[in-house]
Amino acid sequence: MHRAKKVVAVIASSCMLAAWLPMPAHAALVGTQQVLHADSAARAHINAWLARDDVRQALLGNGVDANQVQARVDALTDEEAGDLANRIDRLPAGGDFLGILLAVFVILLITDILGLTKVFPFTRPVR
């Protein structure tokens, strides 16, 4: 148990020391064209998402007219369109399978190292 505390202490110390490292910052002026392009990119992202067949079928299945949806998207302010585009990107649609697989691998690896499970033959438990 004493060795496990040392391992946790080393990891925690490393994380705290890494937080003290200087992070580079970069600042620049943003031009009008860049701002306008970002707003149109958000609307284009929303329109591309609404043009997908599965989304269109889901809307029709819920009794929503596509023209009404397009009118509402056109009525959004630039800030609302950007917020909606960001929310669309964060929707859990199974596209982040690799991230989930990596998280499960890391969790199983940690439990193997701690000796709670025996999934991987290449690990030796701490105990």
Q: Is residue 33 part of a domain?
A: yes
Nearest to 72 by CA among 126, 64, 92, 55: 64
What is d(CA 97, CA 86) in angstroms, rounded to the nearest whole number?
19
pLDDT at 94: 59
Residues lower than pLDDT 50 in the chain? none
Structural domain boundaries enclosing 80: 29-91
pLDDT per position as a tens digit, 93-126? 655 667 777 778 888 888 888 887 787 788 777 7
User: In the chain, how many domains are there?
Assistant: 2
- In terms of domains, do 80 and 127 share one? no
pLDDT at 1: 62
- In terms of domains, do 83 and 47 share one? yes
pLDDT at 93: 61
pLDDT at 64: 80
pLDDT at 13: 85
What is the 3-class SS of 36-105, one letter each residue? HHHHHHHHHHHHHHHCCHHHHHHHHHCCCCHHHHHHHHHHCCHHHHHHHHHHHHCCCCCCCHHHHHHHHH
> Which pTM does this prediction carry?
0.44
Helix or strand run (H / E) with residue 17: helix 2-19
